[in-house]
Amino acid sequence: MIPLTNLPNTVSIREVGPRDGLQNEDRMLTTAQKIALINALNDTGIKQIEVGSFVHPRFVPQMADTAEVFAQIERRPGVIYSAIAPNLKGAQRAIAARADAVQVFLSTSESHNQSNVKMSIADSLSAAADIAHTLKESAISFEAVLSVVFGCPFEGDVPLERVLLIIERLLAMGAEQITLGDTTGMAHPRLVQAIILGIRERFPQVPLRLHPHSARGAGLANVLAALEVGVDRFDASLGGIGGCPFAPGAPGNICTEDAVHMLHEMGIDTGLNLPKLVECARRVEELLGHEVPGQVIKAGICGHIPNGEPRPWRAAAKALYAS
């Protein structure tokens, strides 16, 4: 394992609760409730919010009003309001909604891709090429999200070489960032590092983002493992809600406020206001009408983190690990 002295000083969090969080919930929030939640997130200092997805409402009814949400949210300067799109039609709807970035998602296993988007990987790559061309004409960021990178619930282990080939195709299309999804929480720290280092060896300059799940309790451990090999971009969901509705055993994104609390305790800056994140998580809990998985909302912020800001102990920690 690489020593903790190599951890980044800052980390970027993309809040995926309004999309990945809510899509797995039985209770469907109203458009007004979603708008109010995103507007509250604006006050936390978050710079990237996944507003929704442009998928067929028959498959994900919770996202049927994404266009209306985009039309009515309060947009803050410097904040990227993104959307997920699986095909050209979805991307065109995202463009019409004035999304700042569009994330194309496809799986690294054929079985999960069929379950998730009803297409083969080859068909998804073809659709991605069409989307990339359309987004380039619209000057909207084109990003790629890869599902089940760390294991598929239908097929088991996913060969690294297949992941690399898919990334190669997406980069050739102009993907500006690759997100590695642990869709069903099958990752563990050594696997996370092995796959990230394998990708870095082939594509040393590609910006990587980790989308961890906590389905089996390893979410924050996998964040630390990714930090140790230089990843400084992560997805997280308020309260730890969410998951993939098209795969068994897929509950639980990592919890935004729990991840931020851990990072701040470690002296790593996220630019986020932790108390306001906790307030947003409480709002989510009230809206959904059930307890959320997050822990900070239950235990509270450690008293020695002033205002939820990062602890100024990095220099001492570096000296400790160097000794």
At 131, which CATH number?
3.20.20.70
Q: Which residues are catalytic?
A: 244
- Per-residue confidence (pLDDT) for residue 251, from 0 to 100: 60
- Per-residue confidence (pLDDT) for residue 319, from 0 to 100: 56
pLDDT per residue rounded down to tens, the chain (323 residues): 445 668 999 999 999 999 999 998 989 999 999 999 999 999 999 999 999 999 988 889 999 999 999 999 999 999 999 999 989 999 999 999 999 999 999 999 999 999 888 899 999 999 999 999 999 999 899 999 999 999 998 999 999 999 999 999 999 999 999 999 999 899 999 999 999 999 999 999 999 999 999 888 899 999 999 999 999 999 999 999 986 655 554 467 999 999 999 999 999 999 999 999 999 999 999 999 999 999 999 999 987 666 778 876 655 555 555 54
- Per-residue confidence (pLDDT) for residue 2, from 0 to 100: 47
- Per-residue confidence (pLDDT) for residue 216, from 0 to 100: 86
Q: For residue 305, give both structure tokens.
A: 């983190």
Residue type present at position 304: H
Instruction: Give this prediction's pTM.
Output: 0.92
- Per-residue confidence (pLDDT) for residue 117, from 0 to 100: 85
Work out the angle between the directed axes of helices 121-138 and 110-117 (0-180°, nearest 10): 60
Closest CA to 180 of 225, 216, 147: 147
Give the position of tokens 């065109």: 92
- Per-residue confidence (pLDDT) for residue 316, from 0 to 100: 57
Query: Residue 36: helix, strand or coil by DSSP?
Result: helix
Q: Give the C-alpha separation, 250 to 245, whole Å.
A: 7
Count Cα atoms within 13 angstroms, Cβ side, for 13: 31
- Please give the tally of structural domains in the chain: 1
Segments forming the whole domain that contains residue 303: 4-322
